[in-house]
Amino acid sequence: MNVQCVQHMAGDRSQGRVYRLALKENIESFDPVDSVDETSGILLNLLHRNLFTTDVSGVLVNDLADRVVFDGPAVYVAIKPGIYFNDSPKAPNIILNELTSEDVVYSLQRLKSSARQPWVLENVLEVKAYNRYTVVFFMKTNAMDSAEKTWQRQENLLSLPQCAIYSAAAHRQDGRFAGASTFSVTAYRSGTIELTSTGGYRLDFKVIASDAGRWFYYRQNQLDVYEADSVFRFLQNEKESFKKVTLAQPVVLYGAIVSDESSVLSRAEFRRVLNYRLNRNDLAGKTLMNSYQPADYPVPDIFDGSLPPLYAFDPRYSCDISDAPGNKAETIRIYTPPDRDRQLAAMAIKKVLGDCGYAASIKVVDLSTLLKINNEKRTGIYLLKWVADYPHAENFIIPLFHSRNSGAGGNRSYYKNPRLDELLDRGVVTSQNVRSIEEMIRRDAPWIFIGFSKKQYYINKQKEIKLPMMYTGWNEEVFSTM
């Protein structure tokens, strides 16, 4: 990690209330441009503020933004005055530490020019400072969509950790990412990250990768929030001082299918057979111990109030394919990270492939290695999870299925459907048509669909933590002592 990404490490440690929390993975970078995972989403949302944010219930609200005015393709966003960076630049030639339009423009233009995640600001042509407290966005428009309509989607995107606003002066000075929230990093060492609030309390994050490790820390009263995973959901977890909370999560578990033309996986009808024959109810309800809601579609029902598809994969796909063309000598590789849920899902998929007459092997690798192999487009099935960044169905559809996001952009199956691309380019993912879009995807079956996560938490009653529906909802509102 670049230590310049960390905010100030000096100062008195908070002697107030301490919240002890667990992270499943370490943070790779404090640079918002690099935010692609749950850990960075949680930490960056605590360290920074955005023009808009998602509250604990998943509702989009104003944060730094005060009001929005439309004028043709231009969108003027007035920001609230009197907001200061928590970690002010100390160089004598830098006088002001108030957050202004210059900082907003610098942060967003840096993201846009990086081309790291182009989908986030793809509808924005340019961002400019209009005056000290007003920023103007020049939006892409077409005959069908006005700037107002395009902006509705962009507001959601501006709430992402990638769109965090940090001090332009501090970053130019020495590469620091100084935020305007009440938190700053006061300690960082291997496996431990400490954030301290100006309100006088501290968040102690400990990286605990294993389910058993987190359970042990909880049982030893070393965590104030415990997420019970896999078999640990069924152990004796109840304590008088903790309350149990179950939340439906915008997290999809799936198998991304990558193939060249020589593999049977290249055939859509075969991929549909695999999806039909996978018993999701048994996998999610029994094997994965009810920690997932089974689903053969990619968008969680909690978004837009939309209904799930009217029918599952067609029963005709259960037909015998033993004589279907394809190389029966082929051994299909299934790649999975080492967590229990995905290894069990890999075993279920291997059985389905065996029932179809194809040999399969499971290769367990760490997540970074799996993604590197996927970047090479090696034929196989990749067990992955996608966590929603903002509360809208398009956050599952566009990054995961538009061809321009192939590979690191989110489309790990390298799926390409020109008709879908054209539809998504027009920005028409709505609660009215999301299910028809899903049917288009299901016909091509670029995934083996598995289901959506359900989280079970135990929370220290004395700490009164309000768990957010989405990981990007971690902010000051979560902690009631503000």
Q: Per mean pLDDT, which range of 3-7, 29-33, 185-189 is the poorest?
A: 3-7
pLDDT of residue 273 exceeding 70: yes
Is residue 246 pLDDT above 70, yes or no? yes
Task: Read off the tokens for 402.
Answer: 């538009």
Given a contact cutoff of 8 angstroms between Cβ atoms, the answer to whether 444 and 411 are in contact is no
**Strand positions, DSSP E, 102-166:** 124-131, 134-139
pLDDT at 93 over 60: no
pLDDT value at position 189? 87
pLDDT at 260 over 70: yes
SS3 6: coil
For the residues 294-308, what does the mean pLDDT come to?
72
Residue 318 has pLDDT above 70, yes or no: no
User: Which runs of E-coded beta strand occur in 410-473?
Assistant: 447-460
Three-state SS for 405?
Answer: helix
pLDDT tens-place string over residues 344-366: 999 999 999 998 889 999 999 99
Question: What pLDDT does 310 receive?
Answer: 47
pLDDT score, position 6: 42
Range 388-400 average pLDDT: 83
Instruction: Give the C-alpha separation, 145 to 70, whole Å.
Output: 14
Q: Give the mean pLDDT of 218-245.
A: 84
Tokens at residue 453, please? 């996560």
pLDDT of residue 323: 47
Mean pLDDT computed over 170-194: 91
Pick the range with the lowest mean pLDDT from 93-107, 181-195, 264-278, 446-460. Answer: 93-107
Q: Which residues of 37-70 are buried (b: 16+ CB within 10 A; e: fewer)?
A: bbbbbbbbbbbbbbbbbbbbebebebbbbeebee
Query: How is 276-334 classified by DSSP, letter by letter?
Result: HHS-HHHIIIIITTT-EEE-SSSS-TTSTTPPPPSS-S-GGGGS--TTSSS-TT-EEEE
Using pLDDT thresholds of 50, 70 and 90, give the confidence band for residue 319. very low
Q: How confident is the model at residue 129 (pLDDT cuts 50, 70, 90)?
A: very high
| Distance (Å, whole) CA 168 – CA 135 | 15
Rounded to whole angstroms, the Cα distance separating 95 from 138 reads 30
Confidence at 429, pLDDT banded by 50, 70, 90: confident
Task: List domains and CATH numbers for the chain.
Answer: 3-182+467-478 (3.90.76.10), 249-454 (3.10.105.10)
Nearest one of 95, 98, 96, 106 to 165, comparing CA atoms: 106
User: pLDDT per residue over 11-60, tens digit each?
Assistant: 444 346 899 999 988 888 899 998 877 888 899 999 999 999 988 877 88
Using left for φ > 0, alpha for ψ between -120 and 50, and beta otherwise, residue 41 falls in alpha
Average pLDDT, the chain: 85
Cβ-count burial 323-358 (b if 16+ within 10 Å, e if not) = eeebeeeeebbbbbbebbbbebbbebbbebbeebeb
Q: How far apart are CA 51 and CA 44, in angstroms?
A: 14
For the chain, give the percent of residues with pLDDT over 70: 86
Percentage helix, strand, coil for the chain under 3-state DSSP, each rounded to 5 = 30, 25, 40
Say which residue, 263 or 141, is predicted with more confidence: 263
Q: What is the pLDDT of residue 315?
A: 57
Residue 274 has pLDDT above 50, yes or no: yes
Residue 89 banded pLDDT, cuts 50, 70, 90: very low
Q: Measuring CA to CA, which residue among 110, 84, 109, 106 is closest to residue 95?
A: 84
pLDDT at 308 over 80: no
User: Would you say residue 293 has pLDDT above 50?
Assistant: yes
Q: Where are the beta strands (DSSP E) in 124-172?
A: 124-131, 134-139
pTM of the model: 0.71
In this prediction, what percent of the chain has a pLDDT beyond 90? 51
